[in-house]
């Protein structure tokens, strides 16, 4: 940028200068800040809006130095933590451990679970930043962990010692329910990745400035700080929350929703997060497609953690990958005085078993009627899907994989012809009716398969309930009570 042009910008009022700079994009603002100290001083407040912090000690130390200079301009903290598995011992190491037992008995204090739990895995600089040091105006916190459980194969390492079959490799790190604080403390003492999570959340909970919390991939493992009063105080100051539970599979078809440890964690989201969030006004809560909120796949039956005593001030809810059930109705009715905007995305009415066995837990028609009869008054209400509920296996696979050659042949059909239903007369009749009456829509019915636990659309139920018409009638009656007509797609 020429000096004359810069001078003209500098002559503008600071508010107008910053408004123009906002349109320049990050690279443009960075270039402009390099022209002179005056521009740089003005632009600091919009260039460094988000401070990215990691669990790498060197990086965290450098970011702390930067925060001491420009921290007043930061509005958001984005943390990313990484750690690996414990190394696997070979036979010679086991033998050496046996020979060293007497020495350990002489001075065992550094190796006790309590001592290991106190071992600092999170860099002190990162802990300081997470707790809000030098960042007085940062009110938005993003916390993300990246643990590559897939790299624990063979002799490379152990992620979880309670899983005797695979040492916690892949999704099996979530096999065993951790039903007590003592179990969690044992794991944190044994595994650095568990300590990293505990220390991260402990540091974050000290930050009194945070009012917005985003967890884009919540690892389904509890940490000890969640059981203390400081955690409850921290969550009580949150007004906007976005919590998405990360999923997993074993690479051979089995889904993490078949593991009791995973679903137990989902069932405890109320005590871990939702009950202490007494001042949250907007919430996005997303579970895993194949381990949804409300699943009855495992022996952990009561997994719908949105309970009537949660979120007393909630005004806006976006719920993703949940089963339509009576528990959801109970929650929505309990929040009737405050809740004004509801968005249900990829939620589904569940038939408990595949191949048409068992009754649907709660139909969409019954769900809509229950909300309307309770007198709930919403400003907006929507039911959406990534793609319309599929009527055939082909349609479902195309919606999931697009043009991926791994799944689809040259004709656009799945390569696995054994499950290719084709376009039956029943399917064609539904399509014809939708074409004649574009105001009508399909509602998703699905099931978690009895072997792999993956979610399959129940095309038979989708068409059956479409022809019955009760779902659409119930939806339209509910929408007539909504202040602003919501999305129908």
Q: Where are the alpha helices (DSSP H) in 217-301?
A: 229-236, 260-267, 269
- For CA atoms 67, 72, 74, 76, the dihedral sign is positive
Report which DSSP code applies to 487: -
CA 358 to CA 117: how far, in whole Å? 47
CA 289 to CA 455: how far, in whole Å? 7
One digit per residue, the tens of pLDDT, for the chain of length 489 reads 445 555 566 666 656 655 656 666 656 655 655 565 665 565 566 667 899 999 999 999 999 999 998 899 899 999 999 999 888 766 445 545 555 544 444 344 455 556 555 689 999 999 999 999 999 999 999 999 999 886 544 446 888 888 766 665 678 999 999 999 999 999 999 999 999 999 999 999 999 999 999 999 999 999 999 999 999 999 999 999 999 999 999 888 899 999 999 999 999 999 999 999 999 999 999 999 999 999 988 887 789 999 999 999 999 999 999 999 999 999 999 999 999 999 999 999 998 764 445 689 999 999 999 999 999 999 999 999 999 999 888 888 887 776 665 555 666 565 554 445 558 888 999 999 999 999 999 999 999 988 899 999 999 999 999 999 999 999 999 999 998 544 444
- For CA atoms 399, 405, 409, 410, the dihedral sign is positive
Three-state secondary structure readout of 346-357: CCEEECCCCCCC
Q: Determine the Cα angle at 198 with ends 230 and 300, to 5°.
A: 95
Looking at residue 486, its pLDDT comes to 47
Looking at residue 108, its pLDDT comes to 43
- Backbone dihedral region of 331: left (phi > 0), alpha (psi from -120 to 50 degrees) or beta? alpha
CB 342 within 8 A of CB 332: yes
Sheet holding 240-245, edge to edge: 50-54, 76-82, 140-146, 212-218, 240-245, 282-286, 316-320, 341-345, 380-384
Looking at residue 364, its pLDDT comes to 98
Return the domain boundaries, the chain: 50-320, 323-489
Dihedral of the alpha carbons of 394, 399, 405, 410, in degrees to the nearest 10: 50
Looking at residue 196, its pLDDT comes to 98
CA 344 to CA 143: how far, in whole Å? 24
Cα 366 from chain centroid (whole Å): 28
Please state the length of the chain.
489
The number of CA neighbours under 13 Å toward the Cβ of 130 is: 29
């Amino acid at each position: 940028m020429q000096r004359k042009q810069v001078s003209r910008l500098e002559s503008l009022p600071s508010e107008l200068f910053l408004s123009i700079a906002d349109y320049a994009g990050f690279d443009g603002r960075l270039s402009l800040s390099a022209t002179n100290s005056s521009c740089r001083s003005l632009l600091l407040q919009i260039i460094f809006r988000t401070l990215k912090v990691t669990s790498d000690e060197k990086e965290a130390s450098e970011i702390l130095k930067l925060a001491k200079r420009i921290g007043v301009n930061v509005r958001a903290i984005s943390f990313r933590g990484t750690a690996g598995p414990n190394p696997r011992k070979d036979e010679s190491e086991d033998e050496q451990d046996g020979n060293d037992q007497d020495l350990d008995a002489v001075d065992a204090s550094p190796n006790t679970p309590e001592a290991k739990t106190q071992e600092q895995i999170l860099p002190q600089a990162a802990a300081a930043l997470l707790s809000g040091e030098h960042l007085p105006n940062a009110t938005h916190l993003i916390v993300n962990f990246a643990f590559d459980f897939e790299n624990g194969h063979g002799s490379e390492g152990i992620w979880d010692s309670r899983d005797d079959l695979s040492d916690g490799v892949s999704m099996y790190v979530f096999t065993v329910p951790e039903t007590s604080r003592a179990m969690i403390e044992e794991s944190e003492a044994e595994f650095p990745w568990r300590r990293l999570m505990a220390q991260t959340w402990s540091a974050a909970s000290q930050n009194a400035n945070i009012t917005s919390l985003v967890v884009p991939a919540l690892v389904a493992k509890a940490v000890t700080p969640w059981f203390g009063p400081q955690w409850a105080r921290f969550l009580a100051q949150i007004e906007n929350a976005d919590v998405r539970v990360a999923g997993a599979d074993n690479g051979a078809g089995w889904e993490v929703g078949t593991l009791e440890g995973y679903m137990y964690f989902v069932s405890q989201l109320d005590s871990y997060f939702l009950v202490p969030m007494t001042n949250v006004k907007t919430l996005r809560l997303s579970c895993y497609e194949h381990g949804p909120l409300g699943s009855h796949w495992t022996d952990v039956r009561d997994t719908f953690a949105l309970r009537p005593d949660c979120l007393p001030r909630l005004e806006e809810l976006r719920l993703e990958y949940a089963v339509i059930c009576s528990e959801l109705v109970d929650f929505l009715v309990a929040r009737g005085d405050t809740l004004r905007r509801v968005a249900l995305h990829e939620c589904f009415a569940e038939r408990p078993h595949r191949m048409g066995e068992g009754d649907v837990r709660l139909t969409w028609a019954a769900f809509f009627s229950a909300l309307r009869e309770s007198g709930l008054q919403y400003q907006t209400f929507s039911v959406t899907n990534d793609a319309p509920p599929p009527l055939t296996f082909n349609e479902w696979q195309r919606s999931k994989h697009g043009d991926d050659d791994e799944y689809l042949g040259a004709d656009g059909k799945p390569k696995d012809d054994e499950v290719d239903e084709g376009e039956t007369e029943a399917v064609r009749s539904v399509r014809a009716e939708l074409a004649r009456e574009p105001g009508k829509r399909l509602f998703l019915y699905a099931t978690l398969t009895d072997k792999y636990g993956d979610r399959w659309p129940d095309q038979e139920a989708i068409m059956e309930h479409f022809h019955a018409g009760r779902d659409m009638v119930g939806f339209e009656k509910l929408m007539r009570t909504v202040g602003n007509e919501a999305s129908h797609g």
